[in-house]
A and B are shown apart, each in its own frame.
Chain A
Amino acid sequence: QQPVQSPQAVILREGEDAVINCSSSKALYSVHWYRQKHGEAPVFLMILLKGGEQKGHEKISASFNEKKQQSSLYLTASQLSYSGTYFCGSSEGGSNYKLTFGKGTLLTVNP
């Protein structure tokens, strides 16, 4: 089942912060975050694993609440380069590889 992302879109000014949420109705093993710029391929940002392990970018942080089956991506002091569509992908049942992606959150950072 597809995870639900919110908000669908957000507009920021450079330097502002944003939070993108991802929730699932099913128990999650891991949550993956990707960013896709228009006309380009998705690029890996972060993996959050059950048990608290995280792998990802230094400038982007995220949380994973296993009980609530939710993850949040925190973008602080946004830069113009942060603009793009952010996707969360969830995996279930003890495997990382079969990812179900949300519909995405379009983030626009203006000068």
Chain B
Amino acid sequence: DSGVTQTPKHLITATGQRVTLRCSPRSGDLSVYWYQQSLDQGLQFLIQYYNGEERAKGNILERFSAQQFPDLHSELNLSSLELGDSALYFCASSVEVDEQFFGPGTRLTVL
């Protein structure tokens, strides 16, 4: 158990819908990262927040957005969902820019 929690574990939804994935980092970790993992694209960095502010952006679609709240938990919002958005979404946290601890992931299925 890494200490990072993610909810929900599984999510099944339809194309065009919007979903919110939630992540609680390890106690004391200020950085939160979001990753998307699919069979064809591998593990893709989406975005990073540090103490409430966006610090780095990767290949995140405009339909996706994220935020980190004052209590340091983070949410990833995915809208206008497409079949290709089906993937495993991981959240990770770290103290600084060091070892990242990954949560168990949310498996999103878009039908």
Stretch in B12-20, B37-45, B68-76, B78-86 touching the partner: B37-45
In the assembled complex, the CB of A83 is this many whole angstroms from the nearest CB of chain B, namely 18
Contacts of A50 in B (CB 8 A): none
Residues of B bordering A, CB below 8 Å: 2, 31, 33, 42-45, 48, 50, 55-58, 90, 94, 97-105
| Tally of contact residues, A, Cβ under 8 A | 22
Among the listed B2, B55, B103, B104, which residue makes an inter-chain contact with A97, where contact means beta carbons less than 8 Å apart? Answer: B55
Q: Is the interface of B mostly helix, strand, loop or mixed?
A: strand
The 10 closest A-B pairs by CB, nearest first: A96-B97, A41-B102, A98-B56, A101-B43, A44-B99, A97-B97, A103-B42, A42-B102, A97-B56, A97-B48
Residues of A bordering B, CB below 8 Å: 2, 32, 34, 40-44, 47, 55, 87, 89, 95-104
